Structure 1
Amino acid sequence: MADRSEKFRMRLEQRKAEMERKKEERITQNESRGAIELFNKEFATEKQEIERLVEKSLEISKSDLLAHFDALALSMQKLKKHLSDSASFLPEFGIKTAQTQLDALDLVIREKRDVLMPKKKFAFKSRKKEAEKPVENEKTEKEEIQEEAACSVILLGSDDARILKFHNRDGETLTLEADDVSGKEVDLSQLNGCVVKIFGTPMAIRMHHISNSKVFSGPVATSVFLDNCTACSFVLACQQLRIHTTTDSRFFIHVSSRAIIEDCSQVGFAPYNWDYSGIERHFQECGLPSLNSEGNHWDCVDDFNWLSSSERSPNWYIVSQDKKTIKL
């Protein structure tokens, strides 16, 4: 009799436990469903706002276009982070759908920027020959091109006098002084084995196809964007840092927002460590937190190819203490 009573009591407890488990599952499912619905609503609203701003790009004056597209990039960064933070409760199909929409919107923004802010090709002016001058005093076309190429700064276009460019250099030390870069955008591309030193406060920096090089920059007023870089070291201070398709490189950074990497591998991060006369004043001028403040998020990195919120992406790492210095 006692055994039957004990078995009956155990069955009741098991049934009660099973009912509690199912109840918790229903609550969890409802909470998850509510979280998914909230995400979808917020994501759609934020995406529509970005699309609205993209459509307004045609109404923006040329002088304000750079700031406009920087603001769009920041909005995209926040939206992508929202997706990354929500990956733990979103279904796989929902994540892929949102990522596809983000990729499409990224493409629309890039195309719009290329149309409204095209990169003008630099062309050497043909030299007019003057018959009255002795031939021996005239420079050959080859000499003139070599002399032009030796210039450290190339200005792009008339309205683009605010864009400074180093292009197609190998094994050179390239320098931009503070007076040169103030309020201007710097464009670096096709550099190999170079050392680049940018003093002062450029408005923005773009880098493409850099290899085996070192880039040092003073504080950047807005953003730094780079892609297709290999085996490089970058010392950068900026509001926003975006790194695409880059491998085997180190970043010594001072940033006021989380750095973003995409399609990258073996990229290391450490605190900004460049110093030169007047650098503190330059930080104040561009509105970045001072070097001694706690406003540096050098070790906060979002990898858009790694949506797990519980584990850090294997595509980036913290530079070890013995390698946190970089020599010019």
Structure 2
Amino acid sequence: MDKLCGAEIVTGRILRRERERRHAMKEKREKKEENMLSTEQVSYFVDTFTQKRDEIEGALNAADLGEVEKNKLPSHFDKISKDILILQRFTSDSIPYLREYDIRKSQEAIQNLQQKLQELDKRLLPKKKFGFKKKSCDTRKESFLQKIEDTVDSIPVSTLPFKALCGYTENNCGFSGRTEENLSLSDEVICRKDIVLTNLVGCTVKLVGSPSTLHMASLHNCRIMSGPVARSVFIEDCVDCTFILACQQLRIHNTKHCVMYSHVTSRTVIEDSTQLGFAPYSLKYENMEHHFKIAGLDININNWNLVDDFNWLASDKPSPNWHILKADEMKDDWV
């Protein structure tokens, strides 16, 4: 009987060691695959970025060498400007898996392209003073926001311009054109939806649940509170607002004097923005942890203070366009 028990103990140890060995091999294999995937992603980014950058530089050189007819220069420069914007957004989307060196070099390259475009425009089209781009962008933006107003909460937005660039889909819901209102959407309404908020003044918006994306444009003196967003949050043309939100990536453009209480699992990207304050996410409500799981966000990973400023390339000095709130400035009561 004792011999039998001894044999069972030895067998149990052997089986346990075998399970541990297989588990260790599995972890090692998964780590190797993860590293290979990361390397492949970086390699794809570098190759694609280099190709697109070279194409833009070729177009700039063509204008500089007089290979483009003068009456075609405005449209030529407008296309280059769009290509630079697309390259910039490609870089922003790739930031989660890029090295600091790759991020810095790509940002420097983009800024060089923008500077060269401005220099050529001023020299070759002095009367316009780079005005054609602003006028074109303002016209498209006005049309874009108007169409959002006409479609949010009503009909699909499949005809919206910039759909491919901004990510708007027929899965949208949200609010537009409201003033001094308390607005809210429940989990049943926003779960896995794309939320659009535009042209709000003095409004408080509470989004309790886990939307897919959150797009906000032209908000003034508003407070936006949101549960975890599965993918990206986009903020543009906002002033004097407070945002309390959680997401994978936070992107802010042309926004000033706003405060971000954020939970970001990758990092925040700002551009053409000033006077931005950052603090950790402090919203609390029932079922919030469940919504984090639905969104696929790790509630224990928060890079709220990792901010990349596309308008500030100096690595030895912090950007003057954003700051971390002092402890006595932070809030955690949003009732």
- TM-score class normalised by the smaller sequence: 0.5 to 0.7
| Cα distance in 2, alignment partners of residues 231 and 281 from structure 1 | 31
Q: Shift of the alpha carbon at 1:48?
A: 5.3
Q: Which has the larger radius of gyration?
A: 1
Equivalent in the alignment of 1:27: none
What is the letter of the counterpart of residue 222 of structure 2?
S
1:156-175 aligned at under 5 Å gives the runs: 156-157=155-156, 161-175=170-184
- Does the alignment pair 1:319 with 2:328? no
Greater relative CO (CA pairs within 8 A, separation 6+): 1
Q: Deviations over 1:236-279 (max 9, x none)?
A: 10001000111111000000111011111110000000011000
Q: Is the 8 A contact 2:95 2:103 kept in 1?
A: no
What is the letter of the counterpart of residue 49 of structure 2?
K
Q: Shift of the alpha carbon at 1:85?
A: 2.8
What RMSD in Å do the two structures reach over aligned CA positions?
3.6
Q: Is the 8 A contact 1:216 1:234 kept in 2?
A: yes
What is the letter of the counterpart of residue 271 of structure 2?
E
| Cα distance in 1, alignment partners of residues 99 and 216 from structure 2 | 22
Q: Shift of the alpha carbon at 1:80?
A: 11
Equivalent in the alignment of 1:200: 209
1:74 to 93, 98, 108: 93
1:190 alignment partner, SS class: strand
Aligned residues: 224
1:179-198 aligned at under 5 Å gives the runs: 179-198=188-207
Change (3 A) 1:161 1:304: closer
1:253 to 246, 262, 267: 262
| Cα distance in 1, alignment partners of residues 255 and 183 from structure 2 | 22
Q: Shift of the alpha carbon at 1:97?
A: 2.8
Q: Shift of the alpha carbon at 1:183?
A: 1.2
1:45 to 23, 43, 47: 47
Equivalent in the alignment of 2:153: 154
- Does the alignment pair 1:280 with 2:261? no
Q: Is the 8 A contact 2:184 2:206 kept in 1?
A: yes
| Cα distance in 1, alignment partners of residues 209 and 257 from structure 2 | 27
Q: Deviations over 1:118-161 (max 9, x none)?
A: 8855659xxxxxxxxxxxxxxxxxxxxxxxxxxxx714418755
Equivalent in the alignment of 1:302: 308
What is the letter of the counterpart of residue 97 of structure 1?
N
- Does the alignment pair 1:97 with 2:96? no
Change (3 A) 1:83 1:161: closer
Q: Shift of the alpha carbon at 1:219?
A: 0.2
Change (3 A) 1:82 1:74: farther
Q: Is the 8 A contact 2:200 2:220 kept in 1?
A: yes
| TM-score, normalization by structure 1 | 0.59
Change (3 A) 1:256 1:123: closer
Q: Shift of the alpha carbon at 1:78?
A: 6.6
Equivalent in the alignment of 1:289: 298
Q: Shift of the alpha carbon at 1:165?
A: 2.4
Q: Is the 8 A contact 1:81 1:302 kept in 2?
A: no
Q: Shift of the alpha carbon at 1:102?
A: 11
Q: Is the 8 A contact 1:201 1:282 kept in 2?
A: yes
Change (3 A) 1:242 1:82: farther
